[in-house]
Chain A
Amino acid sequence: EVQLVESGGGLVQPGGSLRLSCAASGFSFSHYWMHWVRQAPGKGLVWVSRINSEGTDRNYAGSVKGRLTISRDNAKKTLYLQINGLRDEDTAMYYCATGAGNSGRLDDWGQGTLVTVSS
């Protein structure tokens, strides 16, 4: 059974940084593209970033480019999202998800980790 468990969220002041983690189990993590999707409170889903199985190809939504870095450690079966220069609008639940190849379809999702940006 695919399991994705996000962690690392919390309350952060504007301008601060966070590193989110997504621990994977139950599937061959190193063979899968992985994604981050976020959801502001009461709002819809917004795709944020993706990384290929080897960790050599990364893509970002235009709205976050330059402040977010996606990475992965296949030995640890863990996906990461580094967020710098946090802004109020980064307040959201952050989900990691497996990709169906490089198609952009999101097959399995974690339960999310909440990031709150507030002074």
Chain B
Amino acid sequence: DIQMTQSPSSLSASVGDRVTITCRASQTIATYLNWYQQKPGKAPELLIYDASTLQSGFASRFTGGGSGTDFTLTISSLQPEDSATYYCQQNYDNPLVTFGGGTKVEIK
């Protein structure tokens, strides 16, 4: 199975800060990389797909990048409603898709 490693596992930042989360795959996955946002007590939601395409309904302050084995999710100006856990997922090794361990984003 392809292993997905996210860093950091958690972070705390202030409103307006630029925040970057990293996701690394154990082997190349081209751009078969998706990001999900999960707020406390809620189901995950698809945030970004194919590494960099923003899902409808999400703010443009969220951007995804990368290809191969290294990927990033950046929040350009952190807002209170962005407090959540973010997961990356590879769907290169379909159907054996795998998720990263998650990054919990908290607001200072």
Q: Is A9 in the interface zone, CB < 8 Å from B? A: no
Give, as a whole number of angstroms, the nearest-CB distance from A9 to chain B: 14
* Cβ contact of B96, chosen from A61, A95, A106, cutoff 8 A: A61
Q: What are the residues of chain B within 8 A of A103 when measuring CB–CB?
A: 91, 94
B33 to A, closest residue via Cβ:
A105
Number of interface residues of B (CB under 8 A): 23
Known: A61-B96, A104-B94. A109 touches B43 (CB 8 A): yes
Instruction: Compute the total of residue contacts between A and B using a CB distance below 8 Å.
Output: 56
Q: Is B71 in the interface zone, CB < 8 Å from A? A: no
Considering residues B34, B45, B97, B101, which has the most beta carbons from chain A within 10 angstroms of its beta carbon?
A: B97
Interface size class of A (residues with CB under 8 A): 20 to 34
* Cβ contact of A44, chosen from B34, B95, B97, B99, cutoff 8 A: B99
Q: What are the residues of chain A within 8 A of B87 when measuring CB–CB?
A: 44-45
Asked if B98 and A47 sit within 8 Å, CB to CB, the answer is: yes
Q: What are the residues of chain B within 8 A of A59 when measuring CB–CB?
A: 95-96
- Which residues in chain B, 27-72, are within 8 Å of chain A measured between CB atoms? 32, 34, 36, 38, 42-46, 49
